[in-house]
Structure 1
């Protein structure tokens, strides 16, 4: 049997992400396989880094957390193929979340406009939501 949670609990869990990570967090787009877990060292090449707005997500609703201010654009600092993201505190030192990156329509945890990135190119996060388990 799978665990089920009320919508109120699922929303509270999701809203805690913003409370824990803080304001003006960093999102790094990286090449290669993502690390085994958030405590592991960064892997791949850092292709682009975004600093999100102070209030970067709306309150969770129906067990879904939606990131605001999208699309969000940054300039690539390196060339490579985007494969994963790391979501860090505003100092960029603690990873709180990571996941896959695909081009828009590709089904990744986060979607960007183009996964083939060249240094100096604009990179855009086009969509990003998190759905809590237990529905």
Structure 2
């Protein structure tokens, strides 16, 4: 069975992410992890947090054409070393919103929703490195 939805609904789905992420008492967090993404949504990750981005508040503008795009944020200092494989979006109170695939900007693009850049480039993040959020976008179903 294939479900088709209107662009209006696709935009509403994206805007719901913004509403949920901004529901906490402050700005949402996007935590970049190494390791294997949990098999079940909302399960505590077992990998290391490489970078913890404090997102803009609001986290994004209105979705357009079924695409949600996070607003620009400041760079952060990596707390651990590793290769980013997934990210977890939480509101400021730590409430789980979504987990997303992630990669470095120097890695092959396999459709990951989150892309991060290391100051000076490279194939992995070193503890203490400056990390930037290159992009965080979600395309709602039925593109």
The two structures have a TM-score, normalised by structure 1, of 0.90
**Quick check: 2:42–2:98 contact (8 Å CA) kept in 1?**
no
Question: Secondary structure of the equivalent of 2:86?
Answer: strand
Following superposition of structure 1 onto structure 2, how do residues 83-102 of structure 1 map, counting pairs within 5 Å? 83-91=85-93, 93-102=94-103
Following superposition of structure 1 onto structure 2, how do residues 1-135 of structure 1 map, counting pairs within 5 Å? 1-22=1-22, 24-69=27-72, 72-91=74-93, 93-104=94-105, 106-107=109-110, 108-114=112-118, 116-135=124-143
Instruction: Give every structure 1 segment of 4 or more consecutive aligned residues whose post-TM-superposition deviation is greater than 6 Å.
Output: none
Structure 1 CA distance, aligned partners of 2:125 and 2:81? 5
Number of paired residues? 133
Structure 2 CA distance, aligned partners of 1:6 and 1:106? 28
Question: Secondary structure of the equivalent of 1:82?
Answer: coil
The two structures have a TM-score, normalised by structure 2, of 0.85
| Root-mean-square deviation (Å) | 1.6
Higher share of residues assigned strand: 1
**Quick check: 2:11–2:65 contact (8 Å CA) kept in 1?**
yes
**Quick check: 1:2–1:134 contact (8 Å CA) kept in 2?**
no
Does 97-106 or 22-31 show the bigger shift?
97-106
- Point out where structure 2 has 5 or more consecutive residues left out of the alignment: none
